[in-house]
Structure 1
């Protein structure tokens, strides 16, 4: 369990959506209790914290029960496959030279692999649904946290010191979501908290969404908490600098505008003023106790008990590992790996040949020149396409990847035999990426 905040938040956000199922209160709650339930949630400061946590959790959780247990946030789609971070990984990686998925064809992973997707490809839509769901949660929080409503509900005094930061964080999450709509889909419908619930949103151009994200995030650089002054799992001003660096870096592609100088300015602020220094050991970024890693600016929290999901790092660990590997290297999930994703030769060949092999007497790669070369090679071919072997379901074609491990930096499992779900937090923003953005901005002419 990472923090008291997220334990409390997970309980609050579940109660927010499930209270109508608690039939023991029928004497006091009517069956049609949506409005009453909303008032109950917002009647306490803890309720507001729970809804803010739902804004964060919507980017990595998939429903109300945890672990794809049903009652998903988005009806009509596969709860596990459609998790935002998992869907984003498919869109950003499945059509590159980095990774290959041997399964998931019914959802569209093979269409991405073969570069022949179309509007009917399911997996293309999942990020879209999740992003707009998160946007709506943020809008809901902002509507209900207006000063007048806080005073009417008698919670203003308890919340007045922190509420400006809560609202800034909700606005940041929303701005991030719109930046990804701009990136992945170009144009999209726009709605904010000033629009009545049920309003049909206006379709905005990519330029309009870009302009909104820039304006909103620039303002948030003074409204969010100072660097390192927020509690773990919540954003501060460094996240706004990071998002601006990313948006400005893409401005020429998105809207035909050269903003490399601004991209460099904000990337440099992350590096020099952010107080998130590079991790002393690269491997620590991807472990179950990475909540103590200095480099992670914005983590999406996962916890084997309180924040279960088949998206996020649970997906990254299990897709790239399978059960038999656990006898060679502790994965932290025991025999529960799926093993349906493998790295491509192009990625493996980025490393020295001696670093490409997995050695049983050195499962962490301590003796490698480059410790980022975290591949499992026993029983696997280096090639992902092997003549005479069927591609689908042949999970030994291609090396496995053991970069993500649900174990601590002292190389211990959370429980013997591993946990069912991951406790590795997903690093949404980290300082190493700021260095890369700064370098690219300079190469592209930043002054």
Structure 2
């Protein structure tokens, strides 16, 4: 088969773990994947490999760009870079200005990487499902359900980001068949409902494997966004499945938000029950250039002198915070506690880590001060003396779209951390142990709140939001008078900024492309501007559309 889909994906499927750049999977799933063409196809190893795909980097034949083509990094980039929270500092990098400015087309590289990565993973899942077919022992039945869940999760990303998916259920050389809109929505819902009974009961799965609550939360997410995907709202169904998670007897909210994103979140039982479905990571056994956690932790750290206070030894200087997100926590930017660039002195560059901590404490500019001033545990930002100069403004170095942002043009987000909550050292100071919570109980809580709000039951919506805010030690609690659509959208941001979902929420509220809500560099200008509604989704990559005859004449989505 000469189609590009298979030129990129099928050869990659036949590579060994060494080709993937993974020495092993992690923790409970610590097994190497093997070559599926070997006579003895090891289902145990390849089942572990199916999960490891979520947190590993690329294997798409992209040479020097493999570290940018992992599942989590690509979907995070498409969800966050065009939205109101994240700036990639190096705008000279190919494809980045198109995301920053909401100006991509069907030849932009990063959406193409995501499209190919989702297809690669689905191909691996279909290969494994073929080898599990006909096995009726309890573990094989459960594994088959989990792999179908993972495949449905990938198709949800296709639905959300492109509005269309290249659907395949078997491993062969036939071209995938596109499904879009209502048809794709119904297909994913049916898949999830079919596998639900065969998944682990809530809280019974080894940490990192999907259970029924993960299935319910993905269904709730689908129903929450159903009006976007199909034109028909399903608020009651979204709330029904969200409530299944909230009442499953195991998962619940934690009152330690910070620890949700720390290196021991897999063993800290004060926070683990909030994590419904994680991407497992391990700093000792995942030595990749860009695993999911490594990307989140290292890209958000500044390596300028003096050192930042959180012990990270691997600083990329890549991700900056847009000031629009700060304004979800502070009335004005003048209320944000940070060291102004003009107050930074050259002698500060020689500070030790302890001197940085002391200076920040004495001047009230550390992350603890940020949290206290915001009156909200979720304000995990840093603007202290560590990492050099900082600013709340997001200004380019020049006037061109490819001009970079200076390292001081945005505060740093320290939400993702390789520190442990118990004070012990992480297994590796360079490669994070932090598991990435892909689904959290807080999502179910806010789905309940939003669906009540959409149905004009403001009292129940306020109750649900307040319950979450109290667990986050928010001082300025929601009231009926405060609650409107903008407040609710802001609450989604306060809870989930930098977690790879912001574009979806903005789109559901009609704010992603419109001029109703503007943020820095939306539409390619500093003050922001609205863009064409076609940018609510991404186009199918041009070459894939050309090479797969099943796409020809298939209407309803943006191809060119």
Q: Give TM class, smaller chain.
A: 0.7 to 0.9
| SS of structure 2 residue aligned to 1:235 | coil
Query: For residues 155-304 of structure 1, what are the structure 2 equivalents within 5 Å?
Result: 160-193=137-170, 197-273=172-248, 275-291=250-266, 292=268, 293-304=272-283
Given candidates 61, 74, 78, the residue that maps to 1:75 is: 61
Query: For residues 292-371 of structure 1, what are the structure 2 equivalents within 5 Å?
Result: 292=268, 293-309=272-288, 310-324=290-304, 327-331=307-311, 333-334=312-313, 336-352=314-330, 356-357=337-338, 360-361=360-361, 363-365=366-368, 368=372, 369-371=375-377
| SS of structure 2 residue aligned to 1:398 | coil
| SS of structure 2 residue aligned to 1:327 | coil
Evaluate the alpha carbon distance shift between residue 388 and residue 111 of structure 1 in structure 2; reply closer, same or farther with a 3 A threshold. Answer: closer
| SS of structure 2 residue aligned to 1:342 | strand
Per-residue CA distance 1:167-188 (angstroms, 9 max, x = gap): 1100100111111111111122
> Corresponding residue for 1:11?
31
Shift of 1:433: 1.1
Shift of 1:386: 6.5
Contact residue 344 and residue 384 of structure 1 kept, 8 A: yes
Per-residue CA distance 1:249-271 (angstroms, 9 max, x = gap): 11111111221110010111111
Separation of aligned partners in 1, 2:62 and 2:308: 40
Per-residue CA distance 1:4-44 (angstroms, 9 max, x = gap): 9934744331xx03xxxxxxxxxxxxxxxx64x1x323xxx
Separation of aligned partners in 1, 2:382 and 2:197: 46
Evaluate the alpha carbon distance shift between residue 258 and residue 441 of structure 1 in structure 2; reply closer, same or farther with a 3 A threshold. Answer: same
> Corresponding residue for 2:51?
56
Residues 295-304 or 389-398, more deviating: 389-398
> Corresponding residue for 1:103?
90
Contact residue 10 and residue 307 of structure 1 kept, 8 A: no
Kindly indicate whether residue 453 of structure 2 is the aligned counterpart of residue 443 of structure 1.
Answer: yes
Per-residue CA distance 1:248-302 (angstroms, 9 max, x = gap): 1111111112211100101111112251111220001110001132210100011
| SS of structure 1 residue aligned to 2:107 | coil
Contact residue 91 and residue 405 of structure 2 kept, 8 A: no
Per-residue CA distance 1:353-381 (angstroms, 9 max, x = gap): 65643772274517712222122213211
Shift of 1:431: 0.5
Separation of aligned partners in 2, 1:389 and 1:185: 31
Per-residue CA distance 1:360-411 (angstroms, 9 max, x = gap): 2274517712222122213211101178899515111111111111010034
Separation of aligned partners in 2, 1:8 and 1:250: 33
| SS of structure 2 residue aligned to 1:189 | strand
Separation of aligned partners in 2, 1:50 and 1:442: 44
Kindly indicate whether residue 433 of structure 2 is the aligned counterpart of residue 433 of structure 1.
Answer: no
Shift of 1:115: 1.5
Evaluate the alpha carbon distance shift between residue 328 and residue 338 of structure 1 in structure 2; reply closer, same or farther with a 3 A threshold. Answer: closer
Separation of aligned partners in 2, 1:325 and 1:220: 52
| SS of structure 2 residue aligned to 1:234 | coil
Could you state the TM-score of these two structures normalised by the residue count of structure 1? 0.82
Given candidates 77, 89, 93, the residue that maps to 2:76 is: 89
Residues 247-256 or 351-360, more deviating: 351-360
Separation of aligned partners in 2, 1:90 and 1:96: 10
Separation of aligned partners in 2, 1:328 and 1:76: 33
Separation of aligned partners in 2, 1:393 and 1:97: 16
Separation of aligned partners in 1, 2:40 and 2:299: 40
Residues 312-321 or 301-310, more deviating: 301-310
Contact residue 355 and residue 373 of structure 1 kept, 8 A: no
> Corresponding residue for 1:424?
434
Separation of aligned partners in 1, 2:429 and 2:284: 9
In structure 1, runs of 5+ residues without a counterpart are 18-33, 42-46, 63-71, 151-155
Contact residue 25 and residue 32 of structure 2 kept, 8 A: no
Shift of 1:341: 1.4
Shift of 1:116: 1.2
Backbone CA RMSD of aligned residues: 2.5
| SS of structure 2 residue aligned to 1:40 | coil
Per-residue CA distance 1:306-338 (angstroms, 9 max, x = gap): 23441412111111112247734114x31x211
Contact residue 313 and residue 425 of structure 1 kept, 8 A: yes
Kindly indicate whether residue 404 of structure 2 is the aligned counterpart of residue 392 of structure 1.
Answer: yes
In structure 2, runs of 5+ residues without a counterpart are 1-23, 340-358, 458-560
Contact residue 246 and residue 263 of structure 1 kept, 8 A: yes
Per-residue CA distance 1:398-429 (angstroms, 9 max, x = gap): 111111110100344325xx522111111000
